[in-house]
Amino acid sequence: MKYDFIICHYGEIALKGKNRKFFEEKLIENLKRALKGQSPFGDSPRVQRISGRILVELPARIGYAEGVAGGSEKAKRDKIKEVLRNVFGIVYFSFAVSCEQEIEAIKKKAVEILQNKTVTNRCDRIKLLQLSEKQRLHFKTFKVETQRSKKDFPLSSQEINEKVGKYVLKRLAPYRTEGSGARVDLTNPDITCFIEIVENYAFLYLEKIPGPGGLPVNVSGKAISLLSGGIDSPVAAFYGMRRGVKIIFLHFYTQTQNSIDKTKKILRILNKYQFSSKLYLVPFLNIQKEIFQKTNPEYGCILCRRFMFRIAEILAEKEKAEALITGENIGQVASQTLANIRATEEATNLPVLRPLIGMDKKDIIDKAKEIGTFDISILAEEFYCHGFLAKHPETKANLKKVKEEEKKLDVEKLIKEAVKKAKVEII
């Protein structure tokens, strides 16, 4: 037996009222882009919107029997799962089989998919090959759970559950590898047979695979994300994308190439969420030299951040971006106290979004590991400013004093030179 479809369920999109169609269409567009070129979809994945769901048609149907003969098909499914787990907007998705929208057909299909339930243990696989087809059952308890959005279907969800459950129990009770028969458990079953009655379809599936949730990328406008190459900023960008923001990245580099290389590696990982990224590379060494040679070192980090925000705002205007995103987190380092955040943010007219503002460092590290950026972020690199940092940097900056220090610099000239030398790459 083969899977016919992948059913993608969304959550927050359903609450968008008159704008819901826009969000659904953007999710469809992102799904097509994510699946394009993946086996078995080729260059034209067939994706459509149905009532409360996004439906992906499997052109070359993928089987779900595993064990010795099903390894290649499992590999295909695992690859598709990996792709769909990175498409923001999906709450969960399922590989499903379809049948006629008629209770007898649904009952028979339920028995078929339960008889083909996956086994992964090698001993079970060997045992499986010694059994007849109808004896290949690998669970002790089950239940049936129906979602009926087509309200003119002649049976209610509960009636479907009862009829299908009764039929499955009768057919499968004698056939289980341990020989004691299958039974119903509505509280904590080993397996659940999910049924959906929607529009003209009847779907059945056994697994709800979690998606990343959030909103489809590129429904919430653009933002410039300041990407340092450290642990925090990639995670902040991830959370921005999860809320539907199209991210344009900005990296300030000094004298070493390895920070640029790190940044590009991080972007290639983050691209699994938004497919491709524009990266601005801005030289920052001259600005740092000027700051640490001409101003009070205690204000060095604050002044650097103010320059970064000004440059980011210029690039945001060019890209029609509406906000900046940073990996700042209250109290994590000296520049991230509330007073210093206020002093740095004053340099820009754009809103500065800080997705990590209240998170513990451990939570940020855990998320970095989960999305795959942590191992790159912790690679060593050199920083010019480390040799000039004050032993006791200012943690409660007075904005008036910050501006007095800034007057010692030719701010406009330094910014103009940095922007002029900026390079742009598409990753």
Per-residue pLDDT reduced to its tens digit, 252-309: 998 778 889 999 999 999 999 999 999 999 999 999 999 999 999 999 999 999 999 9
Number of helices (H) and strands (E), helices first, in the chain?
14, 15
Confidence at 137, pLDDT banded by 50, 70, 90: low
* CA–CA gap between residue 81 and residue 85 (Å, rounded): 6
User: Looking at the predicted structure, is the pLDDT value of residue 68 above 90?
Assistant: no
pLDDT at 134: 45
pLDDT band for position 117 (cuts 50, 70, 90): low
The tokens 């339930």 sit on which residue? Answer: 117
Domain 5-210 has what CATH class?
Answer: alpha beta
- pLDDT value of residue 151: 87
Residue 357 — left, alpha, or beta (φ > 0 → left; ψ -120 to 50 → alpha)?
A: alpha
Q: Angle 225-229-234 (CA atoms, 0-180°, nearest 5)?
A: 50
Q: Extract the tokens encoding 272.
A: 């699994």
pTM: 0.89
Please provide the CATH number assigned to the domain covering 222-426: 3.40.50.620
Mean pLDDT rounded to a whole number for the chain: 89
| Phi and psi at residue 263, to the nearest 5° | -60, -45
User: Taking residues 412-417, what's their average pLDDT?
Assistant: 97
Please tell me the distance from the alpha carbon of residue 101 to that of residue 103, in angstroms, as a whole number: 7
Give the pLDDT score at 171. Answer: 86
DSSP bridge pairs for 145: 194
Position 383 pLDDT exceeds 70: no
416 CB-near residues (< 8 Å, 6+ apart): none
Domain with CATH 3.30.2130.30 in the chain: 5-210
Decide if pLDDT at 388 tops 70.
Answer: no
Which residue spans of the chain are classified as CATH 3.40.50.620? 222-426
Is residue 65 scored above 70 in pLDDT?
no
| Residue 129 confidence (pLDDT) above 60 | no
